Amino acid sequence: MHSYRTTSIQKVFTYTGLAGLAVLILAGFTISFFKSTGLILGLSLISTGVIGYTYSSYLGLPAGIKNNGVWYRSLTSRGIVAWVVGVVLTAFYVVLYFYPEYLEGIIRLFDPLSEGLSGKKASQWFVYGVLYTLAIVLFGIKFIKKYKHSKYQKYRTYSVIFFQTIFAFLIPEIMARLNGDLPYYDLKSIWPLNYYLFDSYQLDGFIQNGSLGTALLIFGILSTLIITPILTYKFGKRWYCSWVCGCGGLAETAGDPFRQLSDKSLRAWKLERWMIHLILVWVFISTVGVVYSYLLQTPDSYFIGPNSFLISVGLLFSLVVGLILWKRIDWLAKDARSSIIAISSIVILLLGFFFFSESDRVLFIPSYQIRSAYGFFIGSIFSGVIGTGFYPILGNRVWCRFGCPMAAILGIQQKLFSKFKISTNGGQCISCGNCSAYCEMGIDVRSYAQRQKPIKRASCVGCGICSEVCPRGVLRLES
């Protein structure tokens, strides 16, 4: 047997963390026994476990790459432990999304914390938010210790921890306390990742809340149309995907041990391009449909009517596609050109469908149904159950790579209109393969590096790990 095994101190802390989870679950069932202390005890044990594991793993070790034994450990090489963790995580997501009643006891455990923050009783989403934030903070600390030699890695981890705790967690809770009717709004969650931003109840919520609500709505629209393209032009999609985003935040911290599991095959790359762009079309059409239907119901209430809305969307869309074809046609491979034309035609066709039928139906299906199907299949099943539940099997960025429509938009911007690229350093590459192996997005980085070509890929989230693990200093992220 090899000797890359968990040390006894690491085991003690692993069990401590698991005991914390057990306390939460147990307290959920026998609430009377644990009520006041269960939450504190559970969360403290979890924190002690992760922090203790971190220090027992990295304290006193010289700064450098810590990948010894990755392919020998069960958890990180799709062994039995990985499958157990995967099944448990998946089960948790299934319960969370579809059977929250089983979490009732645990949810009540979080009431004091929730009441302290927003004044409201806890919901399953509050519990999830707390655990999610805690995971990013704790595993973020672990990540920082692991990559202590790299400022780039440290800074972007401080950043995701900050955006998760402040923007995703605290601000919405505090906003709810100040103004109970305002929709729950994580300012950094941008449409189309935040696919429910333009749902009718949300729009009502924004519009009925005066200038603050309207300001938030305008900020939401500007985020997608103005802020995002500018930042992506300057920095690449990494400003969002590996510095700000919550999904990315979890993937980079709790998901870091699984980055080597991403599929690097050409087949996976082809699948990725089709899936992510079709999902983008799906969320685009359903959002347009939902807003159109909202405007149809109250045609004269807003500055924009249903038809002028459709026309502006159609014009804006054509403008973007036209710009791509006009300015960047030479950058696109043959299959990319035909895909753009095919997909754009479908979109225009569907927009026309709305316009001429004067209904919000797409092929006789009402858009709210398309939207709720999206919420079910993509928002819940894909991003949660598969995206996170399958970390130990498919890698930590499955959602970001195959599913996230936000990543799709940022990817198009990055590939076609951005200063971001990964430069390769002359002839120093020895084709060792570390860069490709540890690319969480499944990019075959080596295939570029060994041909001395810069890497400009839509999917690259700019985590910078390829550059870290390169033993010859070949790769450099630039923007």
Partner 1 sequence: MDEKIVIIGNGVAGSTLALRLAEKGAASITLLSEESSYFFSRTALMYVYMGHLTKEQLEPFSRESWNQYPIQRIKARVLSISPEHQELSFRTSEGNEKQLSYDKLVIATGSKPAFYDWKGLEAKGVLGLYHLNDLEQLEEWAPNATTCPEAVVIGGGLIGIELCEMLLSRQIKTTLIIRENFFWSSHLPESDAQFVEKHIRSHHLNLIKEDELLEIRADENGRAASIQTKKGKTITCNLVGITTGVRPNIEFLKTSGLELDKGVLVDEYLKTSDSSIYAIGDCAQLRNPLPNRSAIEPVWYTGKLMGEILAQTFSGELISYNPGVWYNSAKFFDLEYQTYGKVSPKTLQPESEQHFHWETDDKAVTLSYDKTSEVFLGINTFGIRLNHKLVSHWIETAITIQEVIDRLEEAHFDPEFSNRHYKQIKHAFLQNH
Smallest gap from residue 79 Cβ to partner 1 (A): 13
Check residue 3 for interaction with partner 1 (CB under 8 A): yes
Nearest to 136 by CA among 169, 156, 171, 160: 160
**Which of helix, strand or coil describes residue 245?**
coil
Smallest gap from residue 147 Cβ to partner 1 (A): 11
Check residue 71 for interaction with partner 1 (CB under 8 A): yes
Single out the residue of 59, 60, 62, 303 in contact with partner 1 (rule: CB under 8 A). Answer: 62
Could you tell me if 23 and 42 are in contact, meaning their C-beta atoms sit under 8 angstroms apart?
yes
Check residue 268 for interaction with partner 1 (CB under 8 A): no
The nearer residue to partner 1, 387 or 464, going by C-beta atoms, is 464
How large is the greatest C-alpha to C-alpha distance in the chain, in angstroms? Answer: 74
Single out the residue of 146, 188, 415, 446 in contact with partner 1 (rule: CB under 8 A). Answer: 446
Instruction: Please report, as residue ranges, which positions from 399 to 438 form the binding site for partner 1 (by CB under 8 A).
Output: 423, 425-428, 430-434, 436-437
Nearest to 120 by CA among 107, 134, 104: 107
Site string for partner 1, 247-266 (x = CB under 8 A): ------------------xx
* Token code pair at residue 300: 């004269």
Check residue 123 for interaction with partner 1 (CB under 8 A): no
Q: Which residues of 151-186 are buried (b: 16+ CB within 10 A; e: fewer)?
A: eebbebbebbbebbbebbbeebbebbeeeeebbebb
Smallest gap from residue 101 Cβ to partner 1 (A): 44
Nearest to 52 by CA among 130, 134, 132, 145: 145
Task: Provide the pairing of β-strand 365-366 with 361-362.
Answer: antiparallel
Check residue 29 for interaction with partner 1 (CB under 8 A): no
Single out the residue of 8, 101, 151, 356 in contact with partner 1 (rule: CB under 8 A). Answer: 151
Give me the sign of the Cα torsion angle 175, 237, 407, 400.
negative
Smallest gap from residue 428 Cβ to partner 1 (A): 5
The nearer residue to partner 1, 75 or 135, going by C-beta atoms, is 75
Check residue 150 for interaction with partner 1 (CB under 8 A): yes
Check residue 63 for interaction with partner 1 (CB under 8 A): yes
Candidates 115-123, 186-194, 346-354, 465-473; binding stretch for partner 1 (CB under 8 A): 465-473
Instruction: Give CA angle at 229 (225, 230), nearest 5°.
Output: 115
Check residue 158 for interaction with partner 1 (CB under 8 A): no
CA 118 vs CA 126, 180, 283: distances in Å = 10, 9, 31
Check residue 60 for interaction with partner 1 (CB under 8 A): no
Could you tell me if 85 and 75 are in contact, meaning their C-beta atoms sit under 8 angstroms apart?
yes
Candidates 217-225, 339-347, 403-411, 443-451; binding stretch for partner 1 (CB under 8 A): 443-451
Contacts with partner 1: how many residues (CB under 8 A)?
Answer: 48
The nearer residue to partner 1, 314 or 433, going by C-beta atoms, is 433
Check residue 70 for interaction with partner 1 (CB under 8 A): yes
* Token code pair at residue 423: 């430069």
Check residue 301 for interaction with partner 1 (CB under 8 A): no
CA 200 vs CA 206, 287, 289, 292: distances in Å = 10, 10, 11, 10
Check residue 152 for interaction with partner 1 (CB under 8 A): yes
Q: Which residues pair with 422 in a beta bridge?
A: 455, 477
E strands present in 316-426: 361-362, 365-366, 421-424
| Binding interface with partner 1 (CB under 8 A) | 1-4, 62-65, 67-73, 149-152, 155, 265-266, 423, 425-428, 430-434, 436-437, 444, 446-447, 450, 464, 467-469, 471-473, 476-478
